[in-house]
Amino acid sequence: MSRIWFDTDKICIGGAWRTADGAEVLPVKDPSTGETFSQIARGTAADIDTAVASARTALHSDWGRMTATQRGRILTKIGQLVLKRADDLAWMEARDVGKPLTQARNDVIALARYMEFYGGAADKLHGTTIPYLDGYTVYTLREPHGVTGHIVPWNYPMQIIGRSVGAALAMGNACVLKPAEEASLTALAFTHLAYDAGLPDGALNTVPGLGTEAGAALSGHPDIDHVSFTGSVPVGALVQQAAGQNVVPVTLELGGKSPQLVFADADLDAATPFLVNAAIQNAGQTCSASSRILVHRSKLDEVTTRMAERYNALQVGPALDDLHVGPLVSARQRDIVSGFLDKGYDLETAAQGQIIADAPTGGSYIAPTLFTNVAPDHTLAKDEIFGPVQVIIPFDDDAEAIAIANGTDYGLVASIWTRDGARQMRLTKQIKAGQVFINNYGAGGGVELPFGGVGKSGHGREKGFEALYGFSQLKTVAAHHG
Ligand code: NAD
């Protein structure tokens, strides 16, 4: 039974749904089976042009005239409608990207929570008054950028739409959303729900399509005022370059090779589930996946044994079976990850999960794999794999742990497992990352927690209150009254 209640092959411009320019479509495949079960529009550069114009118009129409409180109420209502459709959205995401149902449902809850958070925050960000020269009154205004472009990947479509489109709308921007070609269904569903909630026409325009066509047209569009991109490093660089031609600010979130540092005094009972889950969630296709476990050499065997036990119990199968791990998003992604596994031929395999016996042969499954005693300069220890593959790397002292942790091009997330408070504080300052967790990993992924990277993990912060600064600009007003 299908739970999709709308036409999937349309784009949304100015609150109205229509076929893409040229009426071409792209197939939607279920990575659990390899079967095509739906289709989406192949939006073009001309569609992006119309979408940007529609967003621009919205800024001077009902949307632009709304108070911050009214915007906030609409966002809150969208969150409520998202929750009402939770089962449908979770099912859609599970089929579209292969995410096990429970994990897909968590994304729905997070999307609703983003709407609630940014709905509540919309009228809470105020300007300031600045004491200045005699005879002057000086104050600042927080204003939207204008038209914001949102290029979203396939790994957490709902969460990434929530954190970027949610914050942008809260600040009064008008958005053009380009979801990933592998994962557009929940973006379309979200757009329907947003208009059902009373969003004024043109405040959100959604154009699915190929990255090289619709995505490239959006990032280089001369009438865009801000671009938010989550995805790969090479495409992030292209997006920044394209936006740079128009001198437009860009937020980039480009993934990582995030380490967890496990010291000899760590509470391994508490740590072990986090060590594994942080790489297994969403089959490792998570920008903040912890694909490197750095372990004090005295605990190498024990940590390897504990993690291996969990790997051996992992079951991989169709998303609707709701096992620990689903398929990868596509055959292409599976081939990328298999290529990495081939490069691990010289490594010591500690354990592997099991693909269930009756998993459909057309599905893009891969057995989660744990390697141990890996040298920090091995390809699998340095490059982002974006699959359920993890390496354990031994270290001898704090200085070496930090050198290894900071020894990749990335810097997104890190965690430190130790009972030593002084070490916690010292290493937190030394580590290269946008988020550091102490004796946990991810802290439940809270929408309140600012998120973003350093180095090739990108720049700018989304999530939390901080995102509202990113999706707005400051105007300083100096009035001379004598
Ligand atoms: P990608 O960077 O190619 O795609 C991400 C988004 O960018 C999609 O919406 C895509 O349509 C769009 N895009 C593609 N080319 C574009 C262009 N020239 N101009 C503008 N937009 C463009 O990522 P992918 O191909 O889906 O995955 C490849 C690798 O990227 C993965 O193996 C993984 O390492 C990484 N990745 C990271 C994240 C993350 O959250 N940081 C998410 C997805 C993928």
Cβ(162)–Cβ(177) below 8 Å: no
| 313 shares a domain with 167 | no
| 202 shares a domain with 280 | no
Measured in Å, residue 55 CA sits from the centre of ligand 1 at 24
Cβ(300)–Cβ(348) below 8 Å: no
Residue 246: inside a domain: yes
| 239 shares a domain with 306 | no
Residue 2: the pLDDT is: 79
User: By C-alpha distance, which of 265, 178, 258 is closest to 216?
Assistant: 178
> What would the two tokens of residue 82 be?
């998202």
Ligand 1 pocket check for 253: Cβ under 6 Å: yes
Residue 481: inside a domain: no
CA distance 196 to 188: 12
Ligand 1 pocket check for 45: Cβ under 6 Å: no
Residue 5: inside a domain: no
Q: Whose CA is nearest to atom 14 of ligand 1?
A: 211
For residue 164, the domain's CATH number is: 3.40.605.10
Residue 9, phi then psi, degrees to nearest 5 = -100, 30
| 174 shares a domain with 199 | yes
Residue 1: inside a domain: no
| 134 shares a domain with 44 | yes
| 138 shares a domain with 85 | yes
Position in ligand 1 atom list of the atom nearest CA 235: 2
Active site residues: 253, 287
With 0.95 as the threshold, say if the pTM is over it.
yes
Measured in Å, residue 179 CA sits from the centre of ligand 1 at 10
For residue 362, the domain's CATH number is: 3.40.309.10
> What would the two tokens of residue 330 be?
């596509």
Q: For 430-461, how does the pLDDT look when each residue is reduced to its tens digit (9 = 90+)?
A: 999 999 999 999 998 899 999 999 999 999 99
Total count of domains within the chain: 2
Secondary structure of residue 411 in the 3-state scheme: coil
> Which residue range(s) make up the domain with 363?
259-451
Ligand 1 pocket check for 211: Cβ under 6 Å: yes
Residue ranges of the chain with per-residue pLDDT less than 70: 1
Residue type, 413: V
- Cβ neighbours for 416, distance < 8 A, ≥ 6 positions apart: 260, 261, 263, 423, 424, 427, 428, 431, 436, 437, 438, 439
Residue 375: inside a domain: yes
| 400 shares a domain with 285 | yes
Q: Whose CA is nearest to atom 21 of ligand 1?
A: 215
Q: For 258-276, how does the pLDDT look when each residue is reduced to its tens digit (9 = 90+)?
A: 999 999 999 999 999 999 9
Question: Assign residue 282 a region: left if phi > 0, alpha if psi is -120 to 50, beta otherwise?
Answer: left
Neighbours of 414 (CB within 10 A): 28
Residue 436: inside a domain: yes
Q: Is 127 exposed, middle or buried (0-12, 13-18, 19+ CB in 10 A)?
A: middle
Residue 173: inside a domain: yes
Ligand 1 pocket check for 287: Cβ under 6 Å: yes
Secondary structure of residue 361 in the 3-state scheme: coil
Residue 1: the pLDDT is: 65
Between the CA of residue 372 and those of 223, 287, 310, 355, what are the distances in Å?
50, 22, 14, 21
Ligand 1 pocket check for 325: Cβ under 6 Å: no
- Cβ neighbours for 84, distance < 8 A, ≥ 6 positions apart: none
| 289 shares a domain with 244 | no
| 245 shares a domain with 263 | no
Residue 119: the pLDDT is: 98
Q: Whose CA is nearest to atom 40 of ligand 1?
A: 287
| 430 shares a domain with 294 | yes
Measured in Å, residue 384 CA sits from the centre of ligand 1 at 13
Residue 83: inside a domain: yes
Q: Whose CA is nearest to atom 32 of ligand 1?
A: 386
Give Cα 481 to chain centroid, integer Å.
48
Q: Tokens 């065997």 map to which residue?
A: 301
Residue 251: the pLDDT is: 98
Complete edge-to-edge strand list for the sheet that includes strand 389-395: 348-352, 369-372, 389-395, 292-296, 259-262, 413-417, 435-438
Cβ(316)–Cβ(356) below 8 Å: yes
CA distance 79 to 217: 30
Question: Assign residue 390 a region: left if phi > 0, alpha if psi is -120 to 50, beta otherwise?
Answer: beta
| 281 shares a domain with 187 | no
| 121 shares a domain with 263 | no
